[in-house]
Amino acid sequence: MDEATRRYEARAEGKAEGRAEGEARGRAEGEARGRAEGEAKGRAEGRAEGEAKGKLEMVRRMLLGGVDIEIVSQISGMSADEIKNLK
């Protein structure tokens, strides 16, 4: 094998190794980014769900305490119809 052929093959091998390393690094970074985004989305959804449950509990307690539906509506931001449907 002559010198030019050896250099060509070495260059091709180096390119293949570099491509494989780049793909592996890119895949790992993509997975990490996706995992982080998924966790953040999950936390946000959980927080929103918890806030909604807390709001409903507050509304139920006000109704049980005899607070007028219109006042409950003003405080909670829920419509009177939504509140009536909770009863």
Residue bearing the bigger pLDDT, 28 or 56: 56
The average pLDDT across 50-69 equals 94
Q: Which two three-digit tokens encode residue 18?
A: 């570099």
SS (H, E, C) 21-69: HHHHHHHHHHHHHHHHHHHHHHHHHHHHHHHHHHHHHHHHHHHHCCCCH
pTM value?
A: 0.57
The confidence score (pLDDT) of residue 87 equals 62
The confidence score (pLDDT) of residue 62 equals 95
Q: What is the pLDDT of residues 4-48, one digit of tens each?
A: 787 777 787 877 788 888 888 888 888 888 888 999 999 999 999
Instruction: Give the angle 71-77-78 at the CA atoms, nearest 5°.
Output: 85
